[in-house]
Amino acid sequence: MRLFLILFSLVFFVSCKAQNTVAQETITNTQTTLAENPKLVVGIVVDQMRYDYLTRFYNKFGEGGFKRLINYGFNCKNTHYNYIPTFTGPGHASIYTGTTPKYHGIIANNWYDKVIKDQVYCVNDNNYDPVGTEDKYSQVSPGRMYVTTVSDELRLHTQKKGKVIGIALKDRGAVLPAGHAANGAYWFQGKDEGNWVTSTFYTNRLPNWVEKFNNSDIAESYFKIWNTFYDISTYTESGPDLNNFEGGFKGKETATFPYNLEILKNTNKGYDILKATPFGNSLTTDFALAALDGENLGQDDITDMLAVSYSSTDYVGHNFGVNSKEIEDTYIRLDKDLERFFNALDVKVGKGNYTVFLTADHAAVEVPSYLQSQKIPAGYYDLNDFKTKLNEFLTKTYGASDLLENASNFQVFLNRDKLSLLGLDLQLVQQAVVNEIISYNNIDKAYTATSMSNTSFNQGVELLLQNGYNQKRSGDVLAVLDPAYISYSITGSTHGSGQSYDTHVPLLFYGQGIKKGSTLKHVNITDIAPTISALLGVSYPNAVTGKPLEFVLD
């Protein structure tokens, strides 16, 4: 018996020691894992980038820009927006919150506010003043976004030791990704100023590094001749330079290369012309590199985040269209800027010490007039005619001429006070509007707000509409146009629909913690934020509906 007790004690001691050793190794391994977070996360949003730009222009790209992400990172080839409408404000908000307008509240760039009975802008906030400019347009904040972003969660997780900076030519492209708790967000004030600015939401004065950048002649140096980077005869991935489907610049008879920006700036709002050329992206890269140094990003073991949005691609696309020589040259030059950016990150942060994701806030439709020339169904919709016809219907049916309060973003807002005064049932009037407008040419579908609230859709355009429908902010009736029909000029491209040409965007991950590979699995844009959250080990944004992409993470 005594021998048994001795042997039992010995086995128990060895077992406990082994378990303690394993436990200690587990703790050590866990600590090692937690310490391996990237020093910097760089989120890149390319405004109005279609997925097929990666494949169309692939042979024109160098090895260090897009191809670096594609060949040495992870390429999600089937990434889509899962809501309507596909605009810049909602896109940036959805990427960083991991949810849709139904929850984050940014339902468009501008929308009709049912409470104040007026249009509002997604980042306008009169509680704050502009900094670095007198332009009241820069009274902005992320206050209209209801929920947190992955950048907010990083700030909370690190007790605000991890820095977050947002940068874009467009204020909404800088403000919404940076979130509510950011150290700073900066955008470009054009016209006769040419400065990077912010608002008192972030600071009462520009940091010294921003003032130094503004006082340089970097912005002014881009007033030069915009010609194709390579010989234009080699631009075989786009249509002819001279065609009927492009807008162009005031002061130049044709929308053809070259463009003398020094001359054209006088008739095209000064520095604003840079936004509509690839040099706007170059200027953004210049400023992002200045931010790396000025804010000491990625210089310690606490993760920082830099959110960069390249806006010029959107301006060029709207002006010249997705099949233009101008858009091809813009992406060739953006590829060079990305290479310059990544090379600087290698030096300043360290190769292997940072993580990048690149995506787009929406894509774009081929110019409908061009599609028509190719005998493909497409066209244009007159929104004013829509309003007139609908108003006539409501007046004739209910005997009141002011029941249509607003129609914008293809949403109908009814005058609910007047409906109540007349004793009319809101749901019945909503359905009557649906029954009326579905008979209009080129209105493909229409749904009431009641159906959006009371019915759970699980596929198709109905699901996309529901994901974009916010009870407090959206209209009484939602309409959808026929595919490739837009309410826009007959030149240039636009976006906003739930069709694949607007929803299908690139999504590339690269760097620390990212596997090398690709997938054709369907991915939602709302999956980006939880994936980055999982990579960093921080809480998901508080209204997240997306899921982490496990197959991306190493």
Q: Which residues are catalytic?
A: 88
Contact assessment for residue 140 and residue 171, using Cβ atoms and an 8 Å cutoff = yes
The closest of 525, 542, 408 to 467, measured between CA atoms, is 525
Q: Is 67 exposed, middle or buried (0-12, 13-18, 19+ CB in 10 A)?
A: middle
> How far is the C-alpha of 140 from the C-alpha of 131, rounded, in Å?
10
Q: Is 19 left (phi over 0), alpha (psi -120 to 50) or beta?
A: alpha
Dist CA 13 CA 350 (whole Å): 47
d(Cα 526, Cα 500) in Å, to the nearest integer? 16
Residue where the block lists tokens 């309060």: 405
The SS3 call for residue 172 is helix
How far is it, in rounded angstroms, from Cα 60 to Cα 358?
19
Task: Give 85's DSSP letter.
Answer: -
Phi/psi region, residue 441 (left: phi>0; alpha: psi -120 to 50; beta: rest), is: beta
Please, which residues bridge with residue 524 across strands? Answer: 80
Helix (H) or strand (E) holding 417: helix 416-421
In order, the DSSP letters of 427-464 are HHHHHHHHHHHTTSTTEEEEEEHHHHHH----SHHHHH
* Rounded-to-integer distance, Cα 253 and Cα 348, Å: 45
Q: Who contacts 156 (Cβ-Cβ below 8 Å, separation ≥6)? A: 148, 181, 538, 539
Q: What is the DSSP letter of 200?
A: T
Say whether 195 sits in a helix, a strand or coil.
Answer: strand
> SS3 for 505?
strand
Query: Cα 379 to the chain's mean position, in Å?
Result: 26
Q: Look up residue 295 and give its amino acid.
A: E
Query: Whole-angstrom Cα distance, residue 233 to residue 388?
Result: 48
d(CA 502, CA 355): 27
